[in-house]
Structure 1
Amino acid sequence: MASKFKGSADFDEQFLTCPVCMLHFRDPRVLPCLHTFCRECLREWATKQQPLECPTCRTQVSLPDQGVDGLRTNFYVNNLLDFAAVKKGAGPGVPCQVCQGKAEGARSWCVQCAVLLCESCTNTHRRFPAMKGHQIVTQENLEASEGVPSSFQRKAFCPKHEDQVLTFYCEPCQTLVCVSCTVVNHSRGDKHNPVEIGSVAERKKRDLQKLIANVEPREKDVRASLNEVERELSELPVSADAAIEQARAYFDQLMALLQDRKKEVVTEIVSRRQEVGKCLETQKEAIEFELAGLTSASEFCKQALEHGSDVHVIEVEGQARKRVEKLLTTPSDLTARPSQVVFSEGTAVVEFRDDVARAGRVQVRHTGKVDASKCSVEIRPAVVNFPNVSLLNTVDQNGQLCSVPKDDVTATLTDASGQAVPTQLQEKGRGFWEIFFWPTGNHRLEVRVNGRSVVGSPFDVRVQSRDTPVLTIGEEGRGEGELLYPTDVAVDMDGNTAVVELGNRVQIFDTKTGQSLRCFPVDGEACGFDMDSNGQFIVTLDNSLLSIGNQAIRVYSREGKLTKTLKPDCIRDPRGVAVLQDGRMVVADRTQQCCLLLQPDGSLIRDIGKGQLQDPRYIAMDESRDLFFVTDINAHKVFVFDLEGQLKFMFGEQGWNEGELYNPTGITVDPAGNIIVVNCDNGRLQVFGPDGTYLRTVATVEGRGPQGIALTPDNHIAVACFNGHCVEFYRYK
């Protein structure tokens, strides 16, 4: 919900008005779709309609057991209503609402009691123990404020201890509690864990920021598509009228012979214009509907972050997340649609006498005309027992992506004997197509658009073993595109592969082509490597025999410029590093046999794993579960800790067989929470479930001394091969 509050006394009446009764909100309640209405309006609406639908967006609503009374109160709207009332009623000469003007005029406002007080009554009010926690806002603060003061928020009191403010949150119970509750009903133990609401609210605020970030790209696309549909609607009459005029001119030359056919075609054009207009109007309505939902959800999250109290943020975050998830999982179709009605002559007039029955054609033309000679196909390396997806881009004569009917695109795959192999063809976006198939050997793929072969078609599709890398980057050396003892690998914000070398260098490669894009030097013997949320490179420097006392963490910009060096006293021999979204870091320290949780400035928060780890090497984060994973090369295990330092579980049995670990090094986590680990000695690249259960082996990296690994956006695993002086990519999905 967006705030339309402008200044010290101006409110947008529409923002404070219930869409049902068109009056100021009375006890505003929030539906799961994040739209707000008066409680009584919702009660009346619910008696008239079953199942209940939101009056604004028509989303079906399941009320809680308590009915409308069980819906959450919109605290922010209440605060604005209170503030508007106070600003309107706190002018000169307004009497105190307690002593009825027996003393001087009103000077203050009690947020909890919602009354104006004179100075004498304010002092008396503050002395009452039961009103000790009430928030008093002075007239000076009200007059000086440009907006709603941050202090102008009703404090939330405990329903069980009415004189106690809600200041704690019991995470197992997911309940806000007061100090007394933490002693009586929610004392810390196995079943309860009360924490101050400030830290919980900060986490919820970060979650709301993520929701906004998830909504904004789709909102941008929907808004752009809506503008495009509106433009096409405005241009539709022009193209249709032009077609009518062309048809009339054409048929006027045929005079009486074609008079009847002329009328038929004109009628058909008008009919088609109505059909196309109806189609566009329908899509416009669907896009506007989705845009309204996305905008409402985004604005609601923003206002919760900007104006909501900690209590409010905690209460609405889950509801907001459900709404956003529902919006993003049921998007409307933004792809191309029929947008023009055109007329074409067909046969020339002089040749047309015998074809009168077939005279004239009316077509609905899609924007952009595809040019097969400029379309392109990307053939991705095929791996045995893996599905393969090749990518087709359809473009117009100007090289711009354009959509075409599915029937105009064909993809024919044949095996070595000439037998056809089933394929699936699907447009994933305007001009973007996926050709999906499951290869069993070497094949040929022929792709045609509008009956014409795409440039390069037919294409050879060669299937290789899972143990053969689909791409190898680098060879031994110090030159551009060469590598010398790579220790770790990461994927930057542009999808490129960044490699750190023990030989004091970071080099960035194009993940698709393997071409070196740029490199920059590192002052020290680099070991661990990660990227922060701003795209900066975080590099740990090894404390080797040649550089004793040089252990440090260096931060480089996306361009490779050194921005800062961290030399905290707590580190001795840093190895792998993982950076959290908020900038904190977890560093494996080999000498101290533990991991260090550090602030962004390098100061120590806590050490983790002392007495449990023997030789920690590489680290992977799973912030969705607040866990991190560390490989222990001597223990032949993976240890799993939370950020509080508690060991959650560990897995791994020493051995060379599938599911066993032998000197594990690189580790990463996929979006589903599965854990990918590589053994240094036998090169086995394996996948384990979120609980450490063995799932499968991806590949075997033979004799390369694999170290750090990373998962690329196109589902390949990049492996830094220390002894092979290269980075190898293996198919993951």
Structure 2
Amino acid sequence: MASTSRKRSHAEMEWNSLITCSVCLEEIENPKALHCLHSFCLKCLKRVQHPPGRFICPLCKEQMPLPPAGVEGFRDNFFINQLRDRKAIFRIGEVIQPCTSCSVTDQQVTARCVDCNGFLCQQCVGLHNTIAPLKVHTVFTLDELRSGTVDMSKVMKEECCQKHKDQVLRWYCKTCGIPICRDCTVIEHTRPEHDYVTIESAAEGQLAEIKNLVADCEGISKNVNAAITEVNKVKVRLDVRLTKASKQLKCAKRKAKAAYLKALQENVKTTTDQLNTIKTERYEKIENEKTDLQHKKSKLSNALEMANLVMNSGSTYDVASNYSTLCQTLTQLKDIQPAGINHSLSEVKFTLSQMGSAESVNLGTVLSRCANPKDRNGKWVLQKEIGKEGHGKIKHGNGVAVDPNSSDILITDFGDKNIKVFDSDGKYTRVLQGNFETLHDVAVSSDGFWFITDQSSYVKVLSPDGTYLRQFPAISPDGKSSDSEGSYLYGITIDSDGNLLIGSLNSYISKHRQDGTHISTVNRNIFPKFIGITSQGRIVCTGMSNTNAQIMDHMGNLLHTINKPEDAKSWCPCGVCCSDDGIIYVSNFGGIGDQGGIYSFTEDGEYLGCVTTDVTYAEGIALIDNDRLVVVQGGFPAKIFSYMM
């Protein structure tokens, strides 16, 4: 009983959406199928307004040619009528279903006759068993039909030709692509002009083709769903950052002195208008992308639902009559390639400025990632050197990271085998000693945990107070751990989801959660000495010697190569970091007769310009609040550069 109930529930859920007219919200009467595979009542289609010679689907809004005979010329969907009868089999007992034979409403319907194509009460079932012409009819009890043991496609009466009403459609004209009857083969579809086969043999091949198209489109449907998920993520991140920027603006407003109030309010309005303009423009772009994807998803879902029902529940006639439309629609849909959402749409930030005079209050600047990085007008100037002397002297620095909470600067000093910590202004605060080998790079999580590579086979994990917690290896593409293959680890960074990306000497990048759990690994043709993550989630890595830096997607597919700038004497890219407004900064270690420099590029690898050549053998670099750049120099003090408008 439970099994029958489940089958009934499953069948009704599958059929309800197809047999319900989306215009009148009732079961479809005289169903007509449009080219988009949606079906409606004929009477409802007659009420729909449409342009001359065209018809617009009331549900998905797809336009199509209007048949010469009007909406009545659209294909009859006999499959819908059969689904209504199948649903009725399960609903008898809940609603009154008169006997098709005697039309007596107070007699309980108990069976269905295949030959009569109707429901029978117990008295009429008895007549079928006693009257000679009726004894040859095939009769199934409702219990047999509900049990799922009967092939439902054999229960429904074969469809008759619309032109020759007494002839069953048992042939398929391959030339015209429609089911035909015996009379059709000798009148309108004669050989050799027309090639026809039995409807069973035609449906067999058509069903296989539909299955192949369904398999292709199901994969595309998954891609579209994934793309919609990405769109939603971008919308959420945009809302969070818009909220954060608005809160920062309000905070700055509260801190302003009374003398600045009038100018302050004007500046607040201007800046708020900027944020609202960005919000309006971005929302429109995101919603347009989402609407387009939802439209594609709707078309895919509708086509797949119809195709699966025809495959799983349809008769040979159903397969044949739906074949042309299904194949045409599925062929178009299987080529859908959902374009990836531009993640930079979620990038917006408010940066504070120093208070000016009462006439020129300026709380800060709205930085929109969608702005062209080339439009930045300003220059980088040396603010100060750090680690030059005393306890904080850097013997030989390598990697650098900035704590996202405190903006403290962490520099790995492999000469002293320790990590030196400076505040955001470059003042030395403390040193972290540990059981390190040759220190290389460091990354800091949003909750203050330190992740360190020291050219050993393990990532070392330290708590915010510097206490050693654990270590874990990277994982190669073939599943080997870096300790088992003797691979040294170099570059390390943290992406926007809080996951670690770790570069191995064996030319791969291993992705892990912060507890060390392995997520994935991508192969590279250079070993990642330093790694950066752009605002769009792209991976940027540099190698050793004179190899170019590379920009790749999260799967490790190479997107762009950062080549040697024309104004650089030599090219040995080393450190890398990325700003919120879409700029990639790469340090150039230099070569013989060239002490290197720092250069900027777009996220597509396009060269923007030279930041500075006032460096000596630049290695790791990091940004402080997006407008200050700290650079580690091999064997020399580190430097902080500030961006000045």
User: What's the TM-score once normalised by structure 2's chain length?
Assistant: 0.51
Task: State the one-letter code of the partner of 1:43.
Answer: K
Note if 1:154 corresponds to 2:160: no
Confirm whether residue 73 of structure 1 aligns to residue 79 of structure 2.
no
CA shift for structure 1 position 287: 1.7
Whichever residue aligns with residue 34 of structure 2, its letter is L
Residues of 2 paired with 1:392 and 1:57: CA distance?
Answer: 47
SS in 2 for 1:41: helix
Contact 2:300 2:333 in 1 (8 A): yes
2:240 counterpart of 1:238? yes
For 1:343, what is the secondary structure of its paired residue? Answer: strand
Pairing partner for 1:264 from 239, 246, 270: 270
Structure 1 pair 182–120 and aligned structure 2 pair: CA distance change class (3 A) = farther
The verdict on how the C-alpha distance between 1:430 and 1:70 changes in structure 2, with shifts beyond 3 A counting, is farther
SS class of match (1:241): helix
Structure 1 residues 8 and 208, CA gap change in structure 2 (3 angstroms): closer
- Counterparts of 1:623-662 in structure 2, within 5 Å, are none
Q: Return the match for 2:318 from 305, 312, 335.
A: 312
1:340 corresponds in structure 2 to 346
Cα distance in 2, alignment partners of residues 11 and 221 from structure 1: 23
Q: 1:231 to 1:320 in 2, by over 3 A?
A: same
3-state DSSP of counterpart to 1:363: strand
The aligned runs of 1:503-518 (5 Å cut-off) are: none
Is this contact kept in 1: 2:348–2:366, CA < 8 A? yes
- Counterparts of 2:155 and 2:279, CA distance in 1: 56
Residue type at the aligned position of 2:308: K
Change (3 A) 1:39 1:401: farther
Query: Given the alignment, which residue of 207, 210, 227 partners 2:209?
Result: 207
1:198 alignment counterpart: 200
1:109 aligns with 2:119: no
Residues 216 and 85 from structure 1, CA distance in 2 versus in 1: closer, same or farther, beyond 3 angstroms?
A: closer
* Cα gap change, 1:65 to 1:51, in 2 (>3 Å): closer
Does 1:321 pair with 2:327? yes
Match of 1:127 among 123, 130, 133: 133
- Tell me the alpha carbon deviations over residues 327-352 of structure 1, each in whole angstroms, 9 at most, x when there is no partner: 45566643314443643436556xx6
Which of 130, 148, 151 in structure 2 is aligned with 1:145?
148
Which of 17, 23, 41 lines up with 1:38 in the alignment? 41
Map 1:584-595; keep pairs closer than 5 Å: none
Query: Take 2:312 and 2:99, find their aligned partners in 1: how far apart are those partners?
Result: 32
Q: How does 1:474-489 map to 2 (within 5 A)?
A: none
Deviation digits for residues 121-180 of structure 1 (CA, Å, limit 9, x no counterpart): 43588827xx98x86443342343389833233312234554443222232343423456
How far the C-alpha of 1:85 sits from its partner, in A, is: 2.9
Q: Deviations over 1:61-107 (max 9, x none)?
A: 21233332232233332112112334434689977443456998654
Separation (CA, whole Å) in 2 of partners of 1:331 and 1:116: 48
Once the two structures are superposed, residues 178-237 of structure 1 have per-residue CA deviations (whole angstroms, 9 ceiling, x without a partner) of 4565567656x5334432222211211111112212212221122112122223333433
Report matched runs for 1:96-495 at 5 Å. 96-99=99-102, 106-111=109-114, 113-117=116-120, 118-123=124-129, 127=133, 136-145=139-148, 149-159=152-162, 161-179=164-182, 181-182=184-185, 190-250=192-252, 252-255=254-257, 256-257=259-260, 259=264, 260-327=266-333, 333-340=339-346, 342-345=348-351, 347=353, 356=360, 360-365=364-369, 403=536, 450=583
Supply the distance in 2 between the matched residues of 1:211 and 1:446 (Cα, whole angstroms). Answer: 50
Pair 1:288–1:106, CA change in 2 (3 A): closer
1-structure distance, mates of 2:87, 2:180: 30
Residues 480-529 of structure 1: CA deviation (Å, up to 9, x unaligned): xxxxxxxxxxxxxxxxxxxxxxxxxxxxxxxxxxxxxxxxxxxxxxxxxx
| TM norm structure 1 | 0.46
* Partner deviation per Cα, 1:634-674 (whole Å, 9 max, x = no partner): xxxxxxxxxxxxxxxxxxxxxxxxxxxxxxxxxxxxxxxxx
Structure having greater relative contact order (Cα 8 Å, sep ≥ 6): 2
Q: Please give the alpha-carbon distance, in whole angstroms, between the structure 2 residues aligned to 1:272 and 1:93.
A: 60
1:51–1:61 CA contact under 8 A, matched in 2: yes
Give the secondary structure class of the aligned counterpart of 1:37: strand
Deviations 1:449-472, CA, capped at 9 Å, x for gaps: 947579999xxxxxxxxxxxxxxx
- In 2: Cα distance, 1:103 partner to 1:180 partner: 42
- Matched to 1:361, the amino acid is T
Contact 1:76–1:307 (Cα < 8 Å) also in 2: no
CA shift, 1:261, in A, is 2.2
Uncovered stretches (5+) of structure 1, i.e. residues with no partner: 375-390, 409-426, 437-444, 458-733
> 1:306 deviation in Å?
0.8
Q: Does structure 1 conserve the Cα–Cα contact (< 8 Å) formed by 2:178 and 2:321?
A: no
Q: Greater shift after overlay, 445-454 or 55-64?
A: 445-454
Q: CA deviation at 1:241?
A: 2.0
Change (3 A) 1:9 1:54: closer
Q: Deviations over 1:223-276 (max 9, x none)?
A: 112122223333433322211222344455553446132442234224423332
Aligned-partner SS, 1:231: helix
Give the counterpart letter for 1:316 in structure 2: N
Aligned partner of 1:238: which letter?
A: V
Partner of 1:725: none
Q: Distance in 1 between matches of 2:105 and 2:305?
A: 45
RMSD: 5.3
Aligned partner of 1:285: which letter? T
Distance across 1 between alignment mates of 2:286 and 2:142: 55
Mapped to 2, the partners of 1:304 and 1:236 lie a distance apart of 43
The answer to whether the Cα contact below 8 Å between 1:112 and 1:154 also exists between their aligned partners in 2 is: yes
1:26 matched residue in structure 2:
29
Structure 2: how far apart are the matches of 1:65 and 1:135?
41
Relative to structure 1, is the Cα distance of residues 121 and 178 closer, same or farther in structure 2, using a 3 angstrom cutoff? farther
Counterpart of 2:389 in structure 1 is: none
2:33 maps to amino acid: V
Which has the larger helix fraction? 2
Distance in 2, matches of 1:285 and 1:239, equals: 23
Check 1:161–1:52 CA distance in 2 against 1; reply closer, same or farther (3 A cut).
closer
Secondary structure, aligned partner of 1:52: strand
CA distance in 2 between counterparts of 1:318 and 1:180 reads 22
Contact 1:79–1:152, Cα closer than 8 Å, also in 2: no
Give the 3 Å change call, closer, same or farther, for CA 4–333 of structure 1 in structure 2: farther
Q: Which runs of 5+ in 2 are unaligned?
A: 1-5, 371-494, 504-523, 541-551, 562-570, 591-645
Superimposed CA distance per residue, residues 538-592 of structure 1 (whole angstroms, 9 cap, x where no aligned partner)? xxxxxxxxxxxxxxxxxxxxxxxxxxxxxxxxxxxxxxxxxxxxxxxxxxxxxxx
